[in-house]
Amino acid sequence: MLSWMIFSPLIGMAAILAMPRNRPDMVRWAAVITTAVPLALGVMVFSQFDRSTAAMQFVEQVSWIAPFNIEYYVGIDGLSVPMVLLTVLLSFICIFASWNIENGVKGYFSMFLLLESAMLGVFCALDFFLFFVFWEVMLLPMYFLIGIWGGANKVYAATKFFLYTLAGSVLMLLVMLGMYFTTEPHTFNLLHLANLHPFSTLTMNLFGWQLPMDKVFFVALFIGFAIKVPIWPFHTWLPWAHVEAPTAVSVILAGVLLKMGTYGILRISYPILPSATLWAADAMAILGVISILYGAFCAMAQKDLKKLVAYSSVSHMGYVVLGMASLTTAGVNGAVLQMFNHGTSTAMLFLLVGVIYDRAHHRWIVKPDGSRGFGGIASVVPVYTGVMAIAVFASLGLPGLSGFISEALVFLGAFSVPRFQMYVIIGSLGIVLGAAYLLWMFMRVFLGPLNEEWSGLTDMNWRERFTLIPLTILVVVLGVYPMPVLKLMGTTVAKLLTSLT
């Protein structure tokens, strides 16, 4: 089942590549059908998923490269199910969002499907080697998607994204090999590594210093994943990548790719290096809070809509990191829920920015020369404004919408740890700032006197509404009753934390 889900996009890709070049609509509908398959499988997985056990489900284990006992070991548990569902849903939606891609339609959709299968692979991989392979495979299509179909200086952004993430994954590769060689029956299998986790006792020689091995591994892995999250010092690629990426790609980038980093930490660093996790929890919390505030401050100063949303993603992912670092039930559950909620709300924001960009071909809230970019377009495009309001208030953390629950849980978890209380209070400034920059943007773009230049805007057509309806429903329903998603991850997080405390 899982392998079908991971590799069905590839089958679709092959079919698309075989199609004639001059039939873009055929290619698009093929892409729709191809992404519909994993969506259906995803729904089946969701229904058949057993919430009570924390063990891996839908496991498929086949030896892949025998001499190095690398296996094609795939399985999902409470941690990866929400992510898989998110990926499958967003990919399906993004196909419709990229309906007006004109040049190189075949190339675009085949790259997109490759990206989708790589993402699903990462979330389902239980073998470190397989995880790394999918991680790298994912980079490739992203590079082309941004590099070819991107905005003004798309090549710069694509290269920067690629090299930055690649640098991170180099560290990951080193740790992977380090783990492979130090474990007695050389293995890449994450579950074995989790049971063995011998690294806390060993020490390693690094440029002459005798350092504890698990802490070095943790830091290396953390940097590799932090680049992806992105956490504060490593975030500078995100605004570039988002500004230059086409709408659908930046939706996927924000909706799913950012979660890879935190997912990686929870899947690899936490179970395998428990002692190092406890040691590094404080540092992670501080970095999380810095990300929250840094993202919020920078977001307020942005003049470009997409860059603002990009920095807001940095801020929201800061919550996830803070939640993870608290190592409490509420905190970690909140973090994983926030990963899911942020996925839906930011995806909505990016889709909406895409809608306005398709019509006005610019995204300036305030033009660089200070004159008004958009102004008071609420009267011209009421439906669009309504949906944007929901998206803004969801990511703002308004109770009744999904953003609030995860933020509340994260703060609850973090606050219950005595030494994190000061971080939480500083972090709560992030909530206020979050409200500030989002509402300020909402005000400058939608409210106030109409800027005649944009009186000709047309409201959303049915295709765009179709992309937004599922996300809106998710945001509202999860806001009112979050248990369906929380139930998925509850037992797994509990088991994860037992191994940590």
Residues in contact with another protein by CB under 8 A are 160, 164, 233, 236-237, 240, 294, 297-298, 300-302, 329-330, 333, 376, 378-379, 393, 398-400, 404-405, 408-409, 411-412, 415-416, 421-422, 424-425, 428-429, 431-432, 435-436, 439-440, 443, 446-450, 481-483, 486, 490-491, 493-498, 500-501
Supply the Cα-derived Rg of the chain in whole angstroms. 22
Question: DSSP secondary-structure letter at 454?
Answer: G
Q: Is the distance from CB of 179 to CB of 70 less than 8 angstroms? A: no
Please state, in angstroms and as integers, the Cα–Cα distance from residue 311 to each residue in 239, 316, 387, following that order.
7, 9, 21
Q: Smaller CB distance to another protein: residue 137 or 450? A: 450
Which residues, at least 6 apart from 104, have a Cβ–Cβ distance to it below 8 Å?
148, 149
Q: Is the distance from CB of 363 to CB of 305 less than 8 angstroms? A: yes
Q: Smaller CB distance to another protein: residue 75 or 295? A: 295
Q: Is the distance from CB of 231 to CB of 291 less than 8 angstroms? A: yes
Q: Is 124 left (phi over 0), alpha (psi -120 to 50) or beta?
A: alpha
* Spatial separation of the C-alpha atoms in residues 81 and 332, rounded to whole Å: 15
CB of 241 to another protein, least distance (A): 12
Pairing of strands 203-206, 209-212: antiparallel
CB of 54 to another protein, least distance (A): 9
**Tokens representing 181?**
């060689």
Q: Is the distance from CB of 438 to CB of 390 less than 8 angstroms? A: no
Q: Smaller CB distance to another protein: residue 27 or 396? A: 396
Q: Smaller CB distance to another protein: residue 100 or 236? A: 236
Q: Spell out where 306-377 has E strands.
A: none
Q: Smaller CB distance to another protein: residue 43 or 443? A: 443
Q: Is 186 left (phi over 0), alpha (psi -120 to 50) or beta?
A: beta
Q: Smaller CB distance to another protein: residue 11 or 497? A: 497
Please state, in angstroms and as integers, the Cα–Cα distance from residue 361 to each residue in 272, 357, 448, 457, following that order.
48, 5, 21, 11
* Spatial separation of the C-alpha atoms in residues 80 and 267, rounded to whole Å: 9
CB of 163 to another protein, least distance (A): 8
CB of 155 to another protein, least distance (A): 13
Q: Compute the C-alpha angle 225/243/354, nearest 5°.
A: 110
Q: Smaller CB distance to another protein: residue 214 or 407? A: 407
Q: Smaller CB distance to another protein: residue 134 or 319? A: 319
Q: What are phi and psi of 62, to 5 degrees?
A: -135, 135
CB of 19 to another protein, least distance (A): 39
Q: Smaller CB distance to another protein: residue 125 or 394? A: 394
CB of 248 to another protein, least distance (A): 25
Q: Smaller CB distance to another protein: residue 35 or 338? A: 338
What dihedral do alpha carbons 99, 104, 105, 110 form, nearest 10°? -120
- Residue whose pair of structure tokens reads 């590594």 in the numeric block: 193
* Spatial separation of the C-alpha atoms in residues 176 and 188, rounded to whole Å: 8
Q: Smaller CB distance to another protein: residue 21 or 367? A: 367
CB of 422 to another protein, least distance (A): 6
CB of 34 to another protein, least distance (A): 34
> Shortest CA distance to 346 belongs to which of 478, 468, 483, 228?
468
Q: Is the distance from CB of 231 to CB of 317 less than 8 angstroms? A: yes
CB of 275 to another protein, least distance (A): 17
Terminal CA-CA length for the chain: 34
Q: Smaller CB distance to another protein: residue 49 or 128? A: 49
Q: What are phi and psi of 475, to 5 degrees?
A: -60, -45
> Shortest CA distance to 292 belongs to which of 272, 306, 307, 313?
313
Q: Is the distance from CB of 9 to CB of 137 less than 8 angstroms? A: no
Q: Smaller CB distance to another protein: residue 99 or 297? A: 297
CB atoms within 10 A of CB 182: 16
